[in-house]
Amino acid sequence: MRIWGLVAAMVFVASGAFAGQAPVAYRLTPVVERGALSALAVEMRFVGDADGVTDLELPSSWAEGEKLWRLVDHLTVDGARLDPGGEAVRLLRHGSRAAITVRYRLAITGETDPGRDHAKGEPVVRPAWFMAHGEGLFAAPAGRQGDPATFAWGARPKGWTLVSDLDHLAGRTGKVSEIIDSVVVGGTQVTRVNAKVAGAPLRVAVIGQWPASAQAVTDMAARIMTAENALWRDRGQPFLITVTPLGEAKGGGSSSTGTGKSDAFAIESTTNVDLTRDPHFLAHEYMHTWLPNQTGGLPLEDEARDYWFSEGFTDFYATRVLLASGIWSLEDYAARYNEVLTRYDGSAARNFTADQVMAVFWTNQDAQQSPYDRGRLLALTWDRAVRTASGGRLSLDDVMRRQRDAVRAGAKGYGAALFPGTLRALAPGIDVEADLARHVTGGETVWLESGVFGPCLALARKSVPVFDRGFDGAKSGQTGIISGVDPAGPAYAAGLRDGMKRLSREGGKEGDSRVEIGYRVAGPDGVPSLIKYLPAGKTTFDLQAVSVVPGLSGEQRAACVADLAGR
């Protein structure tokens, strides 16, 4: 049951659209009563538009969160008349450039951890802690994303720690868009670690207890960030990592999601996840500092159409950085690409057109993953093509740095739209538009060519059975009860039945039918048992596979690492 309560965001806003006026100033104050969070006190001040009518934009739809305005409660206005009705946009009528005060509340969503199905666009507010993305928290006058803005916390409750990437605005003026593209956390059990990366502050704020300490997460993140700054030839900048709990997944499963901001990333995860065991997750999120944030960004509508660029390229570079930094070996690098290729080649959405992907993107896991894998494999292909065309002088890294520099110099256009022209300027013979038409728009399979990984990794193709879990894995993981067992599938043949309690999963590799998977379950008598089987379906598909060439000398391995790392 959803328990409604009170969240308030204290927001002072003054338009910078008119010369001489103060910047938009946001203030956020948590209110703790009798030891528990009851509200974030809310106030919003700004100068109305010159024509006497201002549209106030409330949080709307973002990152699986729909109709976020529905959480806004007790909206009141001084200095203007609030027209009745309206949802995401509320109409204010007032005198020309009037001083306006808006107050509102956001509803608390419950007193227990949000769970693995939480829509990350929605604020999470609990008696002892809170986390919210700016997109789901802050309102703003319409059309003022580029206006100057400041941020400050209000009074800090005794015993509470408050952290946000907006703290980076302390003592200076940013933009309204920075306020919206933010994350805020606070609570009584926040562990905060401070470090330096390339001379700039790195802060890690972790709520609750996790397998890896906040210090271990910080150390891993600092190593990755150092390598990524080197890739982009950039100086360090203030950065924040937040880690907040989704709770324990039922049946021993796990779930993690990350959201990259321009100067932060927010991790939401079940608390059984060791965040240092998969550095690719951290590398991916920090790479969003540049991709797509500093290379053109994403469109406001249907942004997932450009995920081949923003997410696929980010995956490609995260893998490259982990190899370059020495965190991963050649074997680790090959293993990750084998995971990607197994998932991609065996995906039910492998040949979805872009329109088909978009039609089911938020409800179909295969469709959601498709742009990531297509973009990663296309980036790998184009990187080798640029190297070949330039006689080894250039790589995709040079293309991306040039696009970053062009955007900083004022180039207009979203990242995915800017990329083909940027690459063409450095390697005219590569027809990026044709590749995109075939593989992204049309859904044609990306078959990698021999040599795309250089001389140290061999590429082969083999026929393997499709991955068939034999039951509804997603629903069973959510409920902790086995359901949807196919009587003709491998799970049923091994003894798995609907209604068994799912205790844990042991072994197996998601998407790989060649690796035995096991489920520890309990039947009606409550006695636990372990059921193992090969999750192999009755049909097959062609799988691309990578392996490290045996017998490489140390010098050859070093040369191959340098090549694959883009050096």
In the predicted model, is pLDDT for residue 13 greater than 60?
no
What are residue 464's DSSP bridge partners? Answer: 541
Which CATH superfamily is 189-289 part of? Neutral Protease Domain 2 (1.10.390.10)
Q: In whole numbers, what is the pLDDT of the chain averaged over residues?
A: 88
Exposure class string for 472-497: b at 16+ Cβ within 10 A, else e = bbeebbbeeebbebbeebbbbebebb
Predicted confidence band of residue 250 (pLDDT cuts 50, 70, 90): low
Predicted confidence band of residue 47 (pLDDT cuts 50, 70, 90): confident
Predicted confidence band of residue 1 (pLDDT cuts 50, 70, 90): very low
- Report the percentage of the chain scoring pLDDT > 70: 93
Q: In the structure encoding, which two tokens stand for residue 303, read together?
A: 């942004």
Task: Report the distance separating Cα 7 and Cα 29, nearest Å.
Answer: 10
Beta strands in 188-238 (DSSP E): 190-197, 200-207
> Domains of the chain: which residue ranges?
1-185, 189-289, 303-457, 469-534
Beta strands in 71-147 (DSSP E): 72-78, 81-82, 89-93, 99-106, 124-125, 129-133, 140-141
In the predicted model, is pLDDT for residue 94 greater than 90?
yes
Q: At 500, is the secondary structure helix, strand, or coil?
A: coil
Helices (H) then strands (E): counts for the chain:
15, 26
What are residue 463's DSSP bridge partners? Answer: 542
Predicted confidence band of residue 309 (pLDDT cuts 50, 70, 90): very high
Q: What integer pLDDT is reported at residue 10 of this predicted model?
A: 39
Predicted confidence band of residue 86 (pLDDT cuts 50, 70, 90): confident
Task: Give the lowest-confidence range in 31-35, 190-194, 290-294, 376-380.
Answer: 31-35
Predicted confidence band of residue 109 (pLDDT cuts 50, 70, 90): low
Q: Are 146 and 89 in contact (CB under 8 A)?
A: no
Helices marked H in 1-81 — which ranges? none
Order across the sheet with 183-187: list the strands: 124-125, 129-133, 183-187, 161-164
303-457 and 189-289 share a CATH fold: yes
Q: What integer pLDDT is reported at residue 249 of this predicted model?
A: 57
pLDDT (tens digit, 9 = 90+) per residue, 490-506?
A: 999 999 999 999 998 88
Predicted confidence band of residue 275 (pLDDT cuts 50, 70, 90): confident
Phi then psi dihedrals of residue 50, to 5 deg: -65, -30
Task: Report the distance separating Cα 116 and Cα 503, nearest Å.
Answer: 17
In the predicted model, is pLDDT for residue 145 greater than 50?
yes
Query: How large is the angle between the packed helices 313-324 and 365-389, nearest 10 degrees?
Result: 60
- For domain 1-185, give its CATH number from 3.50.50.60, 2.60.40.3650, 3.40.50.2000, 3.40.50.300: 2.60.40.3650
- What's the pTM? 0.80
Predicted confidence band of residue 15 (pLDDT cuts 50, 70, 90): very low
Which CATH superfamily is 303-457 part of? Neutral Protease Domain 2 (1.10.390.10)
Predicted confidence band of residue 253 (pLDDT cuts 50, 70, 90): low
Task: Report the distance separating Cα 283 and Cα 285, nearest Å.
Answer: 6
Higher pLDDT, residue 19 or 409: 409
Predicted confidence band of residue 111 (pLDDT cuts 50, 70, 90): low
In the predicted model, is pLDDT for residue 273 greater than 90?
no
